[in-house]
Structure 1
Amino acid sequence: MKTSIGMALLAFILVFNVSCDKSEDNVDTNALELPPYESMAMDFSDFLDDSSDSGKQSASAAKVGENWLYPRIVVGFWNTALFTNLAVPVISFKGAFAHKAELIGENTWQWSYTVDGFASEYTARLTGELTSEEVIWKMYVTKIGTGAFDEFLWFSGVSDLDGNSGEWTLYQSPERPHRMIDIEWSRENDEIGSIKYTWVREMNDEDSDDLFMGSYLEYGLQDGDYDVFYNVHVYDAQYEEFVDVNIEWNSTDFYGRVMAYTHFEDELWHCWDSTGEDVACE
């Protein structure tokens, strides 16, 4: 059995209602609702952490079994990539939910605030423009002090008028303002029903072709015992080719299965039980 893919994966690793009520200070909190935070940063903690809100033991609590450990590595490296490499824009977006929007122009609202959680001082300015077909979102971030930079467009996006789907584009950094990750998302019954992260950066930090371009991780809800799926398509530097990993699991009882030809050297499902131990697939 081949066991190495983790290091390769390390590198791959807003919805509104219109209202006519405006307060005297020009602040309108109901005119434009932000897309859900999870549309940018999906919460994978139920799959990765060692506890769950249900009170039952999750598979990750056991930390045993190759069948469970491998898919956890796959999803975990993506989670790390999003919250480490793009921590500033992700946390900046989260901060918008604690502030009120100001109407700054015809059909355009703005959230402006200081971003908490960093030693350096960042300020964010998020705008939402209502058009006849969609809402256009833009997030500008400014840094003061060491490594200061003026407003940088760190992400942009659109959401449909019903607030149930949209797209984001995140850029790497002010120093390397390259398009890095595209996100497509949709919502079902007030929760994210599907989300897909695609690595679109053309050049890596050494200004060579980014071999991981085209890699993606897709999450979604589905019917059946395995009610959550993850589909991963990623460039594996060890084998110098793209590989596919398909994961399905039960989000209540935490058992699941994985299919990955490169890792397991077959096209079969490999299962784990609610404690994380390897079991035969039924």
Structure 2
Amino acid sequence: MKNLRVYSMFLVFTLVFAASCDNSDDGTDEANNLALPLYESMVIDFSDFTDDSNSGKSTSLAYDNKAPNGNWFFSRIVVGVWNSALFTTLAVPVASFKSAFAHTPEELGDNKWQWTYSVDGFTSEYTARLTGQVTGEEVLWEMYITKVGIGAFEEFLWFSGSSAMDGNSGYWLLNESAERPEALLRIDWERLNDDIGNIRYTWVRELDEQENDDMFKDSYLEYGLQDGDLDAYFNAHAYDSNKQGFSDVRIEWSRETFVGRVRAFDYFEDEVWHCWDGNGDDVQCE
């Protein structure tokens, strides 16, 4: 039994003009509007490794390498922590970004556009105000969120970012909450044709909830595409409280057949690959 302690979690935009990419669903002419990027540029598709049992607040994760599907299960735990963080701690800003696709922006002048709308899917009432401004060779993005009712808060900047004019790269910086509006997560991304070819979530928070140095700072999860049968990968670099240092995990798998493999010296105590088949069961690596 070994423990992996990971803190985590996310999000991104690209920029193209709607003349070349129309995200509107109301049929209006958006030739002079900025178009939102792919939703996948904000949130990685974690569906192959979903673990609904983990909370975004999990700080200690157990792994039993004697389990029949231990190789895949271990990989699911590593990835699942970051996935959970996106849909718990950062659920509101993630949903706010997704909701923007259903709305048409207003041009404010000075090469700036604004989306304003209510965010669906929550019992509380949230209002989002997203702006995008072309400045030289990049677009600057800002998302402001307001909440009314129980736990209300005034408008604050929940995340900001920048994207290249060619729409092929950018980053996002997410703040933790209205109560703690400090930087929590940075997301760097690159686009490959119609897909996100590389995206990295980096934990950037300086202080934890007790105002101590956040030991998980600089932990990251990177997703990317590659050539070969195992055409997708995750690289995880995370602080392990047991060893009081950082541990590395490499996961590779096929998006079509779901066969895969994982390598993690601190948890398997060796440098070899550990594989699973299309059902997630452990198999000998070829």
What TM-score do you get using the length of structure 1 for normalisation?
Answer: 0.88
Secondary structure class of the residue paired with 1:219: strand
Which residue of structure 1 aligns with residue 25 of structure 2? none
Which residue of structure 2 aligns with residue 56 of structure 1? none
The Cα shift of 1:279 comes to 1.0
Secondary structure class of the residue paired with 2:16: coil
1:28, 1:108 → 2: CA distance?
A: 17
- Is residue 193 from structure 1 mapped to residue 233 from structure 2 by the alignment? no
Counterparts of 1:63-74 in structure 2 under 5 Å?
Answer: 64-74=68-78
Secondary structure class of the residue paired with 1:71: helix
Query: 1:28–1:101: 8 Å Cα contact kept in structure 2?
Result: no
Question: Residue 157 and residue 269 in structure 1: after superposition, are their counterparts in 2 closer, same or farther (change >3 A)?
Answer: same
Secondary structure class of the residue paired with 1:232: strand
1:148, 1:29 → 2: CA distance?
A: 34
Which residue of structure 2 aligns with residue 90 of structure 1? 94
Secondary structure class of the residue paired with 2:227: coil
Q: CA RMSD in A?
A: 1.7
1:266, 1:129 → 2: CA distance?
A: 50
Which residue of structure 2 aligns with residue 16 of structure 1? 16
1:119 aligned to which of 123, 132, 141? 123
Secondary structure class of the residue paired with 2:174: strand
Which runs of 5 or more structure 2 residues have no equivalent in the other structure?
20-27, 53-66
1:43 aligned to which of 36, 42, 45? 45
User: What CA deviation, in whole Å up to 9, does each residue of 1:20-65 have, x standing for no partner?
Assistant: xxxxxxx863321112222221121134389xxxxxxxxxxxx951
The Cα shift of 1:164 comes to 1.6
Which residue of structure 1 aligns with residue 2 of structure 2? 3
User: What CA deviation, in whole Å up to 9, does each residue of 1:41-94 have, x standing for no partner?
Assistant: 1121134389xxxxxxxxxxxx95111110011001110011111111111111
- Is residue 132 from structure 1 mapped to residue 142 from structure 2 by the alignment? no
Residue type of the partner of 1:3? K
Query: 1:28–1:102: 8 Å Cα contact kept in structure 2?
Result: no
The Cα shift of 1:18 comes to 6.7
- Is residue 255 from structure 1 mapped to residue 252 from structure 2 by the alignment? no
Which residue of structure 2 aligns with residue 217 of structure 1? 221
User: What CA deviation, in whole Å up to 9, does each residue of 1:134-158 have, x standing for no partner?
Assistant: 1110000011112211111000011
Which residue of structure 2 aligns with residue 59 of structure 1? none
2:284, 2:84 → 1: CA distance?
A: 30
User: What CA deviation, in whole Å up to 9, does each residue of 1:216-240 have, x standing for no partner?
Assistant: 0000000011100100000011222
What TM-score do you get using the length of structure 2 for normalisation?
Answer: 0.87
The Cα shift of 1:193 comes to 0.7
2:51, 2:193 → 1: CA distance?
A: 25
1:113, 1:44 → 2: CA distance?
A: 27
Of Structure 1 and Structure 2, which has the larger fraction of its residues in helix?
1
2:139, 2:275 → 1: CA distance?
A: 42
Query: 2:51–2:76: 8 Å Cα contact kept in structure 1?
Result: no
Residue type of the partner of 2:44? M
Aligned-pair identity in percent equals 58
Query: 2:173–2:186: 8 Å Cα contact kept in structure 1?
Result: yes
Secondary structure class of the residue paired with 1:84: coil
Residues 102-111 or 30-39, more deviating:
30-39
Residue type of the partner of 1:44? F
Query: 1:64–1:276: 8 Å Cα contact kept in structure 2?
Result: no
1:268, 1:134 → 2: CA distance?
A: 43
Residue type of the partner of 1:202? E
Q: Structure 1 stretches (4+) deviating beyond 4 angstroms?
A: none
- Is residue 180 from structure 1 mapped to residue 188 from structure 2 by the alignment? no
Aligned residues: 259
Residue type of the partner of 1:38? E
